[in-house]
Structure 1
Amino acid sequence: MKALHYLKFYSFHITGLIAILCLMLGGQYIIIGATTIILFYSVGDMLLGDDTTNPEYKTPGILTINLWLALPLIYFITFLSIWMFSNSDLLGFGQWLLSSTGVDLFETRADLSSFELVAAFIVTVLMIGMMATIPAHELVHRTWDKTSLLIGRWLLALTFDTIFSIEHVYGHHKYASTVSDPATAPRGRNVYAHILISTWRGNVSAWEIEKIRLKRKKRSLFSYHNVFLRGHLMSVGLLAGVTWMGGIQSGLYFLALAAGGKALLEIVNYMEHYGLVRNPETSVKPHHSWNTNKRISSWAMFNLTRHSHHHAQGEVPYQDLKPMHDAPMMFGGYLSTILLTLIPPLWHKVMSPKVLEWDSVYASDEEKKLANDANLVSGISELVAAART
């Protein structure tokens, strides 16, 4: 059983290998793969319930290596997806595979329908979210570990979001669930608006944080020392490399994948703190994040689901996060909640009562006043009352 506690956090590698297999087989296998992954992570959470175990890990290095291994895996998945979309033989990969194994990716690619290409795009974006953004989230918190930080930033470079290593660690964790936080969605906002607003405000916030840091260190703003600029250059370098290998078509597809992966991150931000309020002068408590202990989500997402403890103690490694039974709970697991956000009327119908319940059960007296103001602006009290009549 002790080995299982380690192995469960390697489960995302199996999903990655399935994605690779489906992309290489092509045709209906891509559609089957996309459907299987979505059903497994949404329905699986419903059927398999919660994981509230809290074992002691005596060799945590094993659980760092699996995060590092996300880098070659997701880069290969992304490369393969671009290869399947492109008209070129990027890096001669198709010819090498044909001559060494007899597998003809050229024929597989030629037979792909538009629907199957869309399915391949969806699979790849899901994999970027699971195997790039989520491991990167854990790694960029380890500011004392240069290797983890570098790998985390190269994972984020896939989505033009290396600024996450600045804004999330030094901004979001300070201002979570306040009006100053770009990642916290106010009551009544829909997810599509949030993707755009949070992306813009997150970049602005990261730039200001980096500007203050460089000024304090007496470094030039426009120099190698600027982590904001250096990070975006990493992404531009990837785009240039893809375009050089596969032409404009491949470059545009890479940009679409990056946009999809970034949107997925902002959707997760949206649902993790939606509608919650806090005075920025007070410390972040477990009730300032929506939590879930769903088993499949927890295993695949390195306990990101235990978000309440993560925000209460951001320095705690993912394997040591506690389930926080008394924290406010999400609608379900992560993927099922993501799917819910995509239908704003349904999202607000489900979440408005939960937000009002948060006001009465979790909010302090000061937070009740902030919540009341937010309710007046958003009109969610009237929405819930109308739904009950």
Structure 2
Amino acid sequence: MFHYLKFANYFITTLLGVTAVLFAQYWILFGFGIFIAFYIIGDTFFGEDLSQPNLTKKWALNAMLYASVPTTFILLTVCIWLVTPYDWAAMHWLSANVEYDFVAAKANTSIIEIFVAVIFCGLMLSGIATVVGHELIHRIGNKKAVTTGRCLMALSFDASFSIEHVFNHHVHVATENDPVTAPRGRSIYKHVPIAIWGTNKSAWQIEVKRLNRKKQRVLSLHNQFITGWLMTAAWLGFVFLVGSWQGVLFVSGVGLVAKITLEIVNYMEHYGLVRHPRERVMPKHSWNTNRKVSCWAMFNLPRHSHHHAKGAVPFEKLEAMPDAPVMIGGYISTIVLVLLPPLWYKLMQPKLQHWDETMANESELAILRLQQGESIASDVNDRRLV
């Protein structure tokens, strides 16, 4: 039973985080600090999960995945409430019944606390909606799963992720044709806009080719790139009705943080790794981690090496791949390091050197020569001869 329940931990931390945002004021800062500390400390001291349990209760696994829908609804409802100028009768009723004045707390929330709430809620949305959306859009034979995944991704301006991620990223990972694989030396601040533009461009091109092949109009509702953005527009239109422009501005910020978080995760999952386009994707072409807290909170997404080697494998069957290239730490702690490029480069240098010396083949070393000059690959060859 534990191996099922362990994947429910993120729902608990998200609901606790939502409660902190609902109580507003300094509770937002307190909740954000506890949230970040839990995942960094947990990944640092709780060790790895190398277990490979045979989880056969699909209904329980699916229930946890689809529980993200009501959880996301609760999160975004609280987001809208925090900034809307409208007076909600339900909040007066809640204040009267729990003996805490939520209306007054909201009114006394500072700009700094609102700003932190945007980041806090964006991180929670990325975990509860983006991670689950990623899992569901891979189930391309299940229309309900893909549609639910697209709806979840639309909240962070990324419904087209279902196109680009499955049909481009997984095909071209670790090559120059993959917009989310960052070459060595590119900072996260340069990479995020490149990745956002590149993935949207790729998704559009994929849809154009698909529709031309089916002899359907590109500028129509058959185009999933267009319908994806219409989903996002419909969501923001609804937010405007119930939360005015303040609500739209806030949830747009939350969605943008979630989208940026996704690209940061893509960056650290594939940074500096290369592959010849004609060679198959192997576990060595993605950075992997088996840290317990990250794996349990993100439905085994950190077991990324197996996910890319076999993209159709559901999250509960992803293997630990202890021989795959290992990420610096857990996901949250690594996100923090990525935001400090000099430190990130310094910590990644020995890991990249180890990959070059023990995992890269001759065609991959040739690619590295073209990317960064003759010296790197030549040094590697010299070490191998010693």
**Structure 2: how far apart are the matches of 1:152 and 1:175?**
22
Number of aligned positions between the proteins: 379
Aligned residue number for residue 26 of structure 1: 24
2:223 aligned with 1:229: no
> Unaligned stretches of 5+ in structure 2?
380-386
2:208 to 198, 211, 215: 211
Aligned residue number for residue 178 of structure 2: 181
| Secondary structure class of the residue paired with 2:176 | coil
Aligned residue number for residue 382 of structure 2: none
**Structure 1: how far apart are the matches of 2:214 and 2:249?**
38
Instruction: Give the C-alpha shift of residue 178 in structure 1.
Output: 0.3
Instruction: Give the C-alpha shift of residue 10 in structure 1.
Output: 0.9
Q: Indicate conservation of the 8 Å contact 1:28/1:116, yes or no.
A: yes
Q: Residue by residue, what CA displacement relative to the aligned partner does 1:180-211 show, whole Å, maximum 9, x if unpaired?
A: 00110111111011110000010000000111
| Secondary structure class of the residue paired with 1:277 | coil
Q: Residue by residue, what CA displacement relative to the aligned partner does 1:198-230 show, whole Å, maximum 9, x if unpaired?
A: 000100000001111111111111111111100
TM-score by length of 1: 0.93
TM-score by length of 2: 0.94
Task: Between 324-333 and 29-38, report the one with greater CA deviation.
Answer: 29-38
**Structure 2: how far apart are the matches of 1:275 and 1:290?**
10
| Secondary structure class of the residue paired with 1:219 | coil
Aligned residue number for residue 37 of structure 1: 35
> Unaligned stretches of 5+ in structure 1?
383-389
Q: Indicate conservation of the 8 Å contact 2:122/2:253, yes or no.
A: no
* 1:1-389 superposed matches below 5 A: 3-89=1-87, 92-98=89-95, 103-376=100-373
Percent identity (aligned): 43
Instruction: Give the C-alpha shift of residue 18 in structure 1.
Output: 0.3
**Structure 2: how far apart are the matches of 1:102 and 1:182?**
51
Instruction: Give the C-alpha shift of residue 103 in structure 1.
Output: 4.7
Q: Cα–Cα, structure 1 residues 63 and 350, in superposed 2: closer, same or farther, change >3 Å?
A: same
Amino acid at match of 1:85: V
| Secondary structure class of the residue paired with 2:363 | helix
Instruction: Give the C-alpha shift of residue 241 in structure 1.
Output: 1.2
**Structure 2: how far apart are the matches of 1:260 and 1:241?**
20
Task: Between 25-34 and 124-133, report the one with greater CA deviation.
Answer: 25-34
Q: Residue by residue, what CA displacement relative to the aligned partner does 1:136-168 show, whole Å, maximum 9, x if unpaired?
A: 100000011111111111110111100100000
**Structure 2: how far apart are the matches of 1:354 and 1:276?**
11
Instruction: Give the C-alpha shift of residue 82 in structure 1.
Output: 2.3
Q: Indicate conservation of the 8 Å contact 1:86/1:246, yes or no.
A: yes
Task: Between 95-104 and 248-257, report the one with greater CA deviation.
Answer: 95-104
Q: Indicate conservation of the 8 Å contact 1:195/1:263, yes or no.
A: yes
Task: Between 356-365 and 297-306, report the one with greater CA deviation.
Answer: 356-365
